[in-house]
């Protein structure tokens, strides 16, 4: 019989967290025990995401409290960058597995957070304990990992394509150009003036050219020097 993991999702009301809710519905190995969304606390999951109404019934988003950790063995965080750093130090001592969907534990060098994210990392001692969650490269390491940092969207695209050809010596690993595009949902669920329908419909906008914060993540796992 398959061991069923009891999971809690912190930040489940956001787009990333809601995808975890959706994927969990069809996964025989997980049971969602609770889902938090502090800005939507008390709201039925199905009211915010009607496509999940049938699966989650009357279940509602909760406000996170540390006492809830005793009910689960796995916590998945779907929070904005920086927020996970405040919670993870308590999680690693109280649950068996932690998966962070943000960038908070993807980089090994704490100085890179100051350089690329504009603020120092508040839990640098934990960076080495997280495994980069890209099974195409780190499947063996992930089998025994307790703490996983899920890759970013652009890095996943770049690494899966570039890492094999760089490792095989098929291209020169300097000055590699990464030209990537994503949908506006990547900006998250909170409304912003520059992500409203009228601003983005039938439009295409460049941003973060030459200084995008995903650059060090891509370079670390491709072995290439990138222009992004």
DSSP code, position 39:
G
First to last CA, the chain: 46
**Whole-angstrom Cα distance, residue 160 to residue 153?**
11
Choose the catalytic residue: 66, 86, 90, 153. Answer: 153
* DSSP of 146-171: SEEEPPPHHHHHHHHHHHHHHHTT-S
140: tokens are: 């063996």
**Is 153 part of the annotated catalytic residue set?**
yes
Rounded distance, CA 157 to CA 126, Å?
26
DSSP 3: P
Sheet holding 5-10, edge to edge: 30-36, 5-10, 74-77, 97-100, 147-149, 131-132
Distance separating alpha carbons of residues 89 and 82, to the nearest angstrom: 13
Tokens representing 210 are 């030459």
Residue 157, class by beta-carbon neighbours within 10 Å (0-12 exposed, 13-18 middle, 19+ buried)?
middle
Pairing of strands 176-177, 74-77: unpaired
Give catalytic residue positions.
153
């Amino acid at each position: 019989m398959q061991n069923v993991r009891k999971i809690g999702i912190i930040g489940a009301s956001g787009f990333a967290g809601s995808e975890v809710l959706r994927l969990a519905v069809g996964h025989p190995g997980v049971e969602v025990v609770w889902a938090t969304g502090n800005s939507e606390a008390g709201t039925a999951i199905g009211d915010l995401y009607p496509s999940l109404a049938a699966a989650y019934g009357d279940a509602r988003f909760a406000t996170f409290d540390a006492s809830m950790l005793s009910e689960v063995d796995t916590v998945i965080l779907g929070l904005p960058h920086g927020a996970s750093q405040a919670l993870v130090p308590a999680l690693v001592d109280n649950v068996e597995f932690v998966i962070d969907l943000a960038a908070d534990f993807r980089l090994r060098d704490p100085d890179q957070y100051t350089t690329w994210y504009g603020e120092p990392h508040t839990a640098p001692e934990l960076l080495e304990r997280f495994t980069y969650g890209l099974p195409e490269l780190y499947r063996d390491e992930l089998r025994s990992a307790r703490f996983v940092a899920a890759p970013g969207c652009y890095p996943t695209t770049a690494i899966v394509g570039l890492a094999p050809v760089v490792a095989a010596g098929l291209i020169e690993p300097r000055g590699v150009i990464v030209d990537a595009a994503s949908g506006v949902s990547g900006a998250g669920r909170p409304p912003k003036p520059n992500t409203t329908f009228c601003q983005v419909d039938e439009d295409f906008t460049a941003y973060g050219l030459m200084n995008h914060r995903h650059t060090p993540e891509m370079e670390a796992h491709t072995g290439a020097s990138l222009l992004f």
